[in-house]
Amino acid sequence: MQKPSDIETLYIDFDSFFASVEQQLVPAYRDRPMGVLPLDSPYSGFIAVSREAKALGITRGARLIDVRKEYPGFPAAVARHDVYIGIHHKILQTVGQSLPIHKVWSIDEVECRLMENERANWLGLAVDIRDNLAREVGPYITPSIGFGPNQLLAKIAAEMDKPNGLVCLHPRDLPRALSHVKLPDIPGIGRSMRVRLEQAGINSVQKLMGLSGKQMRALWRSVEGERLWAGLHGYRTEKPQTERRMFGHGRILSPDWRNRAGVRNCAEHHLGNGPERRVRVRAVQSLCLSVRSCAPARTFRRLAGNKASTRAASSLGEYQYPRGRDEHPLCPHNGQSWHLYRAARRLYWR
């Protein structure tokens, strides 16, 4: 491992991305609390809320019906993922005018690497990127920008002063600069890991930074602990690349969708809209849908989605599921998966 003596990474994390895009595109949402829902149902939980909503204590996951009890008429937009992807590509193009994109971590997180002659002018680079984004993409889609000696510290820096923040974690300032960061704000420390750390007497970043790499490896029970130790101490670390073999997505039906029409609509959404975006860029071998229910045994009919799903699905007929089971796969009687490969090829690889 090599420990840089200067900043080498720029990390951009966009603020409340889905909500900010809606505020940019819909003037009625600007400068006011609002949220974005995954589907048009008052029982849905927000997948994003604006910074104005966060100031009221409304968080992602809050249900619209609960929020409107306290804030009647609270504005909510239904997610438009194709629009967000279009904005994402425009962002990449705009950032690329200032620096080459090293890696896209998600739809709202981007990493760039700094050349040696660019590091001293980190502030000018950040201002240039921010001005270009405001002009080309829109002033309501704001970036929080972080600089650091590696990806981990640059990401932490980007999240330290949200929204619209700008923080530089230089190696000479470590570990002092992390003293006020909370454990949950460090990537790789989830709820279960926090419990394990607390049981070991580690309840602050200062105590975490005082551990050795081998101690963190023992706490994590894997090499990830030692890799996190190296990242927090400024070392440049690279995770081995993994190949993604499966895409999955689940949804708990809201009460107003817990009927035959609602189940059908949800199935069409999952089998049409979700996989459709993925199979355009990945070689998909099969698509299948399963339904879990704690209800008594009842008759289920085939739920045909749109496009590839409707074209490919053979009739499942009716099937009486036995009582006592709480997981009911939506597949033929012989237990085989509902394969959609041929229709997907015809539809997406023309």
Rounded to whole angstroms, the Cα distance separating 318 from 313 reads 14
Cβ pair 157, 167 in contact under 8 A:
yes
pLDDT at residue 46, as a whole number: 97
Report how far residue 203's alpha carbon sits from residue 290's, in angstroms, rounded to the nearest whole number: 41
pLDDT at 66 (0 to 100): 97
CA–CA gap between residue 159 and residue 13 (Å, rounded): 7
List active site positions: 109
The closest alpha carbon to 141, from 159, 163, 111, 123, belongs to 163
Alpha helices in 200-302 (DSSP H): 205-209, 213-220, 223-232, 260-268, 274-279
Q: How is the chain split into domains, by residue range?
A: 1-173, 255-348
Calpha distance 158→147 (Å, rounded): 7
Q: What is the pLDDT along the chain (350 residues), one digit of tens a residue?
A: 667 889 999 999 999 999 999 999 999 999 999 999 998 989 999 999 999 999 999 999 999 999 999 999 999 999 999 999 999 999 999 999 999 999 999 999 999 999 999 999 999 999 999 999 999 999 999 999 999 999 999 999 999 999 999 999 999 998 899 989 999 999 989 999 999 999 999 999 999 999 999 999 999 999 999 999 999 999 988 776 666 666 566 666 767 767 777 777 776 666 555 544 454 444 555 556 666 655 554 444 444 444 444 443 333 333 343 443 344 344 443 344 444 444 444 444 44
pTM: 0.73
Q: Which CATH superfamily hosts domain 1-173? A: Reverse transcriptase/Diguanylate cyclase domain (3.30.70.270)
Structure tokens at 345: 């090829």
Q: Which residue carries 């829109």 as its tokens?
A: 138
